[in-house]
Structure 1
C-alpha cells in the first residue's frame, strides 16, 4: 500500500577535463612552442518531464545519477571532448528540492519541459592558453573543475484540472470510470484505491484531466491513513469535486471533517473552487439525505449536484458545472508560480575572487569564497609555475594582507576549500621551489614539470 510519489536521489554534474602540458615537436619546426589543449566541459544534468510516467517508482533502485566527465586536453592544441549531458526523466508535477536547504531547484508542470539543474564543470586550460610575450614556454596547466553535486528530494503532485476527493468508499473511482475511459479498481470496501488514478474527460471539444485522490480520513493532515501521501495531490488540481456518500448516516459530519483536514494541511486548498457531488441517489434513503444537504449547500452558496455514479444520473450537469468553473480560472501558467532557485550555473560563475571571508578557528585559518575555492581546486600542483601563480593570486586578491591582519604566523595552517597548506611570508622562488620538490618527493609517481626549474628571479 505504498504510493511512490516521493524519492531521494544523488545527482552530480560531470567534472571538467584536465588541461594538457605539451609542446609542438616536428621535424624542421624549431621552437614549436606550447600546444597543450584545454579540457572538455563536464556534462550537465537536466530534469525532463515524460508524459508517459505517472510515478517515481523507477527511482527506488537507481539512486545515483552522474553525468559524464569531460576528457582531458591533448597535444597539438586539441581540446578534450565535452562530457555527455544527463537527462533524468520524471512525471509532470514533480518538484525537486535540495535536501539540505529545502530550496526548490526545479518545478516540472508540463510535458516535455526541460530544466537544467546542474551545469558541468569547466575544463582546465592547457599550457597553450598561458603563453605570453614574457613566458613563451609555460609549463603549467589547470585541472578540470569538479562538477557540483547534491542530494535531491523529489515530490510528485499530480497535475490535473479536477481532483475528486472524499472519504473512502464514497464512489470517487466509480465517478471517474463513468466520465472517462479510466479503469480504476472498484470494490465495496474502503481504500480500494491506494494510488491516484488519472482520467481524461472530453466535452464540447475541450479536454479535462480528472484525478481520483485516494480516500481521506479524519486526521489525514497529521499523517493518519497515509494522509500526506494523498493530500499533496490536491495542491496541483484546479477544481475540487467533493464526493459525499449520502447512503451513510454520517455524511454531514464526513463533509465537515474532510474540509477541516484540507484546511489543516494547507489553507490555500479552501480557496480552490469546490463542487459537491451528492452521490448514490439511486438509493431512496440516500436521496432524502442528498436533498437535505443540497438545501443546506444552496443556502450557503455552494454548488452541489445530486448524482449517481452508477446510473449516470446528474453526472452531465456536474460536468457542465466543472467545465464552467475551469473556464473562469486564469491560465495554467499563472496558477502554479513558485519561488525557484537559480539553476544551470556553476558555483563560482559571476563571483569575484576578491569576495572571501576568513574564519580563525582553533585548528586553522579558513578562507571561504566560491571563486577562490574554485581557483584552488583547479590548480595543478604538479607544476612549479602553479605555485608561483597561486602566490600571485593570493597577493592580488588581498588574501595575503587579510591573513596577516587576522594574525596568521609562520607555519600556521591555512585551509581553502579542500586544500590545506602551511603559511609562510617567504615568497622567494627558491623557497617555493623547495616546497614544490618536497611535495613531489612525497607524492607517488614520477616528477613532472621540472626540466629547467627554478626560473631565475
Structure 2
C-alpha cells in the first residue's frame, strides 16, 4: 500500500486564437477597409475543492491536464470563441505548489473553493485592430499567445477537527474505530496504519472529524520513519488527542519525543490544544496503576489526561466529551476568510508578460548567439505572424523603440551574428532600410514549403527603400 497524499501533474492553459487578415468586399460598399477579427482567449486552468474526493490517487494515471485553445478570428470582424476552461478537482486541504520554484500557487480549503492557477493565452489581433489614419488597409495580424504551462506538486493536508497522534501501536486506530464509523486496519505490530484514516464522531447533535495520524516517532521531523509524510496532516487539525501506551515503561519519554518532533516540524502546531489519552489500561494492573500516576502528573502540568481503554471502550465517552469541549472553546473557522487571505498573499494571477514593459530585458552573450531575455519582448516575438511583411517591419520598429537594437550593438553584435528572442532566431543586420528588410523577409518566405502562399507582399513598394 501507498499513501497518495502527494502528486505531481502537468497543467497547460489554452493557446490564444490567431487574428485574421480580411477586407470588406461588398457590392456598393466602396473601400470597405480591414475586416479581420481577433482570436479568442485560451481556456484557463482552475483547481476546485470537492469533498467527494479524499485522496490524490486519481492523479496516478491522469497526469496531463490541458485547457482548450481559443478559436481563430474570422472575416466580418468575427471574434474567435474563447477556449473552454479546465477544472481540476482535488480534495479539500490540498496545497498546490510550482514544482520548479516551490512557490505556493493555491491552497484549497473548503468544498467548492475554486481558484485560477494559470490564465489562458491572449488572442491575437486581426487586421481591423491595426487600422490607423496613416495605414487604412493594414495587412497584418497576430498569432495567439501560447498558454502557460508548468508542473505542479500537490500536497494533501487532511482537513479534520481532531488529530489522533502517538507512537506506533499506541492504539490510535483502535480509538478511532471505537468513537466513529471508520474501519481502519488494526494489528499488533508497529506501522500497521500507513495511510491517514478519517472518522466522523457525533456528539450532542454536532459532528467532529477525527483523523488518525500514523507514523510518528523520534526523528520524524527529519524524515525518519513515516513521520515526515504525515506530519503535514497535523497542521490542519484544531485539537490534538495524544494517545499513550501505558504498557510501556517509557511512556513519558515517548510523549516528550513526539511533542518535540511536532515542535521541530512547526511550532504553531505544538501550540494547539492537547488532550492526553492514557490507553491500554485493560492490559494489566501495572498499566492501570501507571495510568493513574501519569494522570496526576499531567494534571500538575495543566494537561487534561484521561484514563481509557480503546479496546473495551472504558473512559472513551469522557474523552470524546472533553475533546468536544476543547473544540467548542475555539473560535469557528472561516474558510472563506482564509482563502481570501491566502489569495491576497499570493497576489493576482496573471500571464508572465502582463504588466511588463518591452524595454524590460537583458542581453546574454553566449558563444552560440546573443540571447534577448524579457517576458514582454519574448511574448511580442511569439505573437508576431511572420507571414506578413508588415509584421516584419513592425518587429524592426519595436527593436529600435524598446532599446533592443542599441543594446545589441553595444554588446558587440555584428553583421550576421545569431540573435535569439524566445523561440525565434535570426541574423543580425544594422541595415534597416525597407528594401533590406524586404529581402530578408523574402528569403525567409522562400524557405517555406513549396506551394505555400506568400502573404502581405502586395503592399511592398517596389522602388528601392
Give the TM-score, by structure 2 length.
Answer: 0.93
Structure 2 match to 1:371: 376
CA shift, 1:330, in A, is 4.2
Taking the aligned partners of 1:70 and 1:45, their CA distance within structure 2 comes to 14
Structure 2 match to 1:320: 321
* Of 401-410 and 380-389, the range deviating more from structure 2: 401-410
Contact 2:40 2:122 in 1 (8 A): yes
Taking the aligned partners of 1:78 and 1:101, their CA distance within structure 2 comes to 40
Correspondence list, 1:345-424, <5 A: 345-424=350-429
* Of 363-372 and 55-64, the range deviating more from structure 2: 363-372
Q: How many positions carry a matched residue from both structures? A: 457
Measured on the aligned residues, the alpha-carbon RMSD in Å equals 2.0
Q: Aligned to 1:434, which of 415, 435, 439? A: 439
Correspondence list, 1:165-314, <5 A: 165-283=165-283, 284-314=285-315
Structure 2 match to 1:120: 120
Taking the aligned partners of 1:359 and 1:215, their CA distance within structure 2 comes to 50
Contact 1:6 1:154 in 2 (8 A): yes
Structure 1 match to 2:56: 56
Taking the aligned partners of 1:413 and 1:13, their CA distance within structure 2 comes to 31
Taking the aligned partners of 2:42 and 2:226, their CA distance within structure 1 comes to 41
Secondary structure at the aligned position of 1:193 is classed as coil
**Mind listing any 5+ residue stretches in structure 2 that lack a counterpart?**
none
CA shift, 1:335, in A, is 7.3
Taking the aligned partners of 1:447 and 1:413, their CA distance within structure 2 comes to 27
* Of 84-93 and 241-250, the range deviating more from structure 2: 241-250
Secondary structure at the aligned position of 1:443 is classed as coil
**Mind listing any 5+ residue stretches in structure 1 that lack a counterpart?**
none
Taking the aligned partners of 1:328 and 1:416, their CA distance within structure 2 comes to 60
Cα 1:98/1:170, change in 2 over 3 Å: same
CA shift, 1:393, in A, is 1.3
Taking the aligned partners of 1:289 and 1:44, their CA distance within structure 2 comes to 60
Contact 2:246 2:279 in 1 (8 A): yes
Give the TM-score, by structure 1 length.
Answer: 0.94
Taking the aligned partners of 1:414 and 1:71, their CA distance within structure 2 comes to 32
Cα 1:3/1:343, change in 2 over 3 Å: farther
Taking the aligned partners of 2:229 and 2:2, their CA distance within structure 1 comes to 9
CA shift, 1:225, in A, is 2.8
Secondary structure at the aligned position of 2:175 is classed as helix
Q: What do residues 40-81 of structure 1 show as CA deviations (whole Å, max 9, x unaligned)?
A: 100000001010111110111111111111111111111111
Structure 2 match to 1:84: 84
Correspondence list, 1:123-134, <5 A: 123-134=123-134
Q: What do residues 218-248 of structure 1 show as CA deviations (whole Å, max 9, x unaligned)?
A: 3333333322222221122121110011133
Contact 1:388 1:432 in 2 (8 A): yes
CA shift, 1:309, in A, is 1.9
Q: Aligned to 1:448, which of 451, 454, 462? A: 454
Contact 1:116 1:343 in 2 (8 A): no
Structure 2 match to 1:69: 69
Taking the aligned partners of 2:158 and 2:176, their CA distance within structure 1 comes to 15
CA shift, 1:406, in A, is 2.6
Contact 1:117 1:343 in 2 (8 A): no
